[in-house]
Structure 1
Amino acid sequence: MKRLIEIRTYRLKPGVADAFHHAMHSLAVPMLKKWDTDVVAYGHTDHEEATYFLIRSYEDREALEREQNAFYASSEWKDGPRKELVDRLDSYMNTLIWVSQEAINSMRELNASEVQADGSSK
């Protein structure tokens, strides 16, 4: 079975990496999961402190658009963590690729250690 993954890469403003991660880990990701979004992995990238990633999985492009439109239009998002995250962004980029379920499982497993139990990143 193939799945469409979205890899969203964020370029953060200087000095906000820890605060961004805290808001993502404690507010945004739990909210996404509550909305039944398949969050595959997220965290700081290995190559530079000011870059962060979020990987989500979808059935297809239509599901991605439908789910994201509903989530980002919700008052829960707008009145919740949106400002805390968006105000810390310099820019972001999305990449969509098709992968197997096995690839998603591998990404999930290999990146699980990125987020520690206390919400800090390694």
Structure 2
Amino acid sequence: MILEIRTYRLRPGTSEEFVRVMRQEAAPLLARFGIQVVAAGASLVREDGHEEAYLIRAFPSLAVRDEQEEAFYGSDAWRDGPREAILSRIESYHTVVLETSEAAGDVLLGRRS
């Protein structure tokens, strides 16, 4: 299983609306494209006083990740949907992609404890 962890440094005063849009609009849209959102929300601590948020997604393989992300980010549903509300609040972001065991992925996805 492939996990993608994306962290966002947000513009001041935007984290609450960013998280709302991410959870209520972007996450359901990602799911429509087969992208599994593990978690999304605001960071519990502020790095250097900045508002930060995260998005964790799971994929069965790197190839599937590439295909699903290309389809999602190239879609009218994204461009005409939550894209501007998300991007306008981001100052910068960082992505880490890692491979994990199916068992660890199951725990993260709530399929096994």
TM-score (norm 1): 0.82
Structure 1: which 5+ residue stretches go unaligned? 110-122
| Counterpart Cα distance in 2 of 1:12 and 1:88 | 6
Give, in angstroms, the shift of residue 92 of structure 1: 0.6
Q: Which amino acid aligns with 2:81?
A: G
Equivalent residue of 1:46, what SS? coil
Give, in angstroms, the shift of residue 54 of structure 1: 0.6
Runs of 4+ in 1 over 4 A off after TM superposition: none
Q: Which amino acid aligns with 1:94?
A: T
Match of 1:85 in 2: 86
Equivalent residue of 1:92, what SS? strand
| Counterpart Cα distance in 1 of 2:23 and 2:60 | 24
After superposing the two structures, state which structure 1 stretch, 49-58 or 14-23, moved more. 49-58
CA RMSD of aligned residues (A): 1.3
Give, in angstroms, the shift of residue 47 of structure 1: 1.9
Match of 1:47 in 2: 45
Q: Equivalent pairs: percent with the same residue? A: 33
Match of 1:59 in 2: 60
Give, in angstroms, the shift of residue 40 of structure 1: 1.0
Q: Which amino acid aligns with 1:68?
A: E
Q: Deviations over 1:38-79 (max 9, x none)?
A: 111111122226111111111211111111001000000000
In the alignment, is the contact (CA less than 8 A) between 2:19 and 2:40 conserved in 1?
A: no
| Counterpart Cα distance in 1 of 2:76 and 2:27 | 16
| Counterpart Cα distance in 2 of 1:108 and 1:41 | 9
After superposing the two structures, state which structure 1 stretch, 74-83 or 27-36, moved more. 27-36
Give, in angstroms, the shift of residue 6 of structure 1: 0.5
In the alignment, is the contact (CA less than 8 A) between 1:38 and 1:56 conserved in 2?
A: yes
In the alignment, is the contact (CA less than 8 A) between 1:40 and 1:56 conserved in 2?
A: yes
Match of 2:25 in 1: 27
Equivalent residue of 1:77, what SS? helix
Give, in angstroms, the shift of residue 34 of structure 1: 1.5
TM-score (norm 2): 0.88
